[in-house]
Amino acid sequence: MSTTADDLREEVRWRYAESALAVEGNEPASCGGGSCCADDAAGFGEALYAAEQRGELPESAVLASLGCGNPTAVAELREGETVLDLGSGGGIDVILAAKRVGPTGRAYGVDMTDEMLALAQRNADEAGIGNAIFLKGVIEAVPLPAESVDVVISNCVVNLSVDKPAVLAELARVLRPGGRIGISDVVAEDRLGSSERAERGSHVGCIAGALSHGEYVAGLEAAGFMDVSVTFTHEVADGMHGAIVKAAKPASARRELPLVGGAKAGCC
């Protein structure tokens, strides 16, 4: 029997719920199912955060780290900005982002897993963070208004989506004009086809569902982004890399006006 998109989403939800419950038992999280987040996997988890950052966080937030990078270190967050973390998990990146944007800023986290949302809220409370807000939802349909955030971050979650064009479109929708993304994700070399990616790890293990370098660039450009870059940082499997993905939403879009005198007029 073939695996459907709903099956994959439910498997991801179940694995992350299991990870949250493990953390509640004071054990490190593991999403299982392949290289991603496995205890012995290089390039995943808490080791990607500086010691001083880990020291600022509740232990359960660090134990729950399942990412492949540190997006708050590359997103260039500024005081007073509104930040959105897609797939916020145990809240580590939301807490760090909330600290960076300060009391005049705000950090949202969106996650589909009740157990992770509860864990993240407890972690934020323990850290004394009052400007972190956790919302239940899927990253293909973010429960926030259009043009409501300045920056979108995400840590090894886009690869888990079953509808990546929808995710990239949501990035463009929720960002204000001039907004930007700073995402850590697993990305394949262009030489690897989808079947070759699947040979290197499972979907829930952050490998089989990864976009290639070219697919990521093309997808973001199709969603309307500019200044797109995908930079490999470390190899997590043969031909598969942790990567930093950056792009910007244009500050203004060129609008086409009705035909005037047989010619199309433009307005910037």
Q: Is residue 143 assigned to a domain?
A: yes
Q: Is residue 114 assigned to a domain?
A: yes
Which pLDDT does position 38 carry in this prediction?
40
Residue pLDDT tens, the chain, 268 long:
456 777 666 666 667 656 655 655 554 445 443 334 443 344 444 444 444 454 454 454 444 444 556 777 778 899 999 999 999 988 888 999 999 999 999 999 999 999 889 989 998 999 899 999 999 999 999 999 999 999 999 998 999 898 999 999 999 999 999 999 999 999 999 999 999 998 888 777 778 789 999 999 999 999 999 999 999 998 989 999 999 999 999 998 543 333 334 333 333 3
Which pLDDT does position 128 carry in this prediction?
93
Domain count, the chain: 1
Please tell me the chain's helix, strand, coil percentages from 3-state DSSP, rounded to the nearest 5: 35, 25, 40
Which pLDDT does position 15 carry in this prediction?
74
Which pLDDT does position 268 carry in this prediction?
31
CA distance 29 to 19: 5
Which pLDDT does position 265 carry in this prediction?
36
CA distance 247 to 265: 29
Q: Is residue 56 assigned to a domain?
A: yes
Q: Is residue 263 assigned to a domain?
A: no
Outline where the chain has alpha helix (H). Answer: 5-24, 51-55, 59-63, 92-101, 114-127, 164-174, 194-199, 213-222
Which pLDDT does position 207 carry in this prediction?
84
Q: Is residue 264 assigned to a domain?
A: no
What pTM was estimated for this model as a whole? 0.79
Outline where 187-243 has alpha helix (H). Answer: 194-199, 213-222
* Domain at 41, CATH number: 3.40.50.150
Q: Is residue 165 assigned to a domain?
A: yes
Range(s) of the domain holding residue 211: 5-250
Q: Is residue 68 assigned to a domain?
A: yes
3-class secondary-structure state, position 52: helix
| Residue 145, Cβ density class (10 Å: 0-12 exposed, 13-18 middle, ≥19 buried) | exposed
| Residue 2, Cβ density class (10 Å: 0-12 exposed, 13-18 middle, ≥19 buried) | exposed
Q: Is residue 259 assigned to a domain?
A: no
Tokens of 205: 């293990």
